[in-house]
Amino acid sequence: AQKVTQAQTEISVVEKEDVTLDCVYETRDTTYYLFWYKQPPSGELVFLIRRNSFDEQNEISGRYSWNFQKSTSSFNFTITASQVVDSAVYFCALSAQAGTALIFGKGTTLSVSS
Amino acid sequence: DTGVSQDPRHKITKRGQNVTFRCDPISEHNRLYWYRQTLGQGPEFLTYFQNEAQLEKSRLLSDRFSAERPKGSFSTLEIQRTEQGDSAMYLCASSLGLFGGTGELFFGEGSRLTVL
């Protein structure tokens, strides 16, 4: 069975702080895909990143970076120099192969205050 | 607008009534998904289609729920004899499948159901 755990329910930071959102996953598949989505207060889920199980390279996109470690089954997300606009619920998700259903974690609510 | 669209955006109904939601995916996407999201939870998978074929259904999808995608384009999700526990946001998403896709789902804004 596949499972995604986001142990942090809520995180509050002050602007310009760095923050890391944790994601731990479980799967028996050797090939799988990991995702992060953002759900701002408006409600629509926005895709942030996709990673396949064969690519453990970390990725950086602007203020966002992702750390994928198969040894610990983790796919953590770091926001550097957080901004108020980063306030949202962030979901980590897992799928067995491209195009199949995503299994989501329960999400981490990030609140960034000015 | 070429994104995923859902209709209606909000639906209030009385317990026992039937409701139907419609989803129009991104036109070139062959896969379409339905999810349900309740307050404070992540989206829960309900079912998905590749073209008109329903490939997978979650155990969450009781017999009162039925989904169709008759021509491989838009999809409908019907809930019969609604119960208060059905109150949730119903999310539709689409993607390109195995061939040509990278797996990310593109979500609509959702249809919020309130059962009184």
With b for 16 or more beta-carbon neighbours within 10 A and e for fewer, the B28-38 pattern comes to ebbbbbbbbbe
Residue B9, chain A, CB below 8 Å: the answer is no
Q: What is the mean pLDDT of residues B83-111?
A: 85
Tokens of A3: 């499972």
pLDDT of residue B90: 97
B97 inside 8 A of chain A by CB: yes
In chain B, residues with a C-beta closer than 8 Å to the C-beta of A50 are 102-104
Whether B97 shows a pLDDT value over 70: the answer reads no
Contacts of A101 in chain B (CB under 8 A): 33, 45, 48, 56
How many whole angstroms separate alpha carbon A96 and alpha carbon A101? 8
pLDDT at B2: 72
Cβ atoms of B9 and B28 closer than 8 Å: no
* A20 vs B30, higher pLDDT: A20
Region for B24 from its dihedrals, namely left if φ exceeds 0, alpha if ψ lies in -120 to 50, beta otherwise: beta
Q: Which of B41, B56, B101 lies closest to A101 in CB terms?
A: B56
The pLDDT assigned to B101 comes to 58
A100 reaches B (C-beta below 8 A): yes
- Using alpha carbons, select from B44, B115, B106 the residue that is nearest to residue A106: B44
Greatest CA separation for chain B: 43
| Bridge-based pairing state of the strands B111-115 and B10-13 | parallel
The predicted structure's pLDDT at residue A91: 97
Contacts of A91 in chain B (CB under 8 A): 42-43
Looking at every residue in chain A, the average pLDDT score rounds to 92
pLDDT digits (tens, 9 = 90+) for B36-52: 999 989 999 999 999 99
Note whether A35 contacts B40, CB cutoff 8 Å: no
Nearest C-alpha of chain A: how many angstroms from B102? 6
Of B44, B50, B109, the CB nearest to A44: B109
B42 neighbourhood in chain A, CB within 8 Å: 4, 91, 93, 104-107
Secondary structure of chain A: what % helix, strand, coil (to 5)?
5, 50, 45
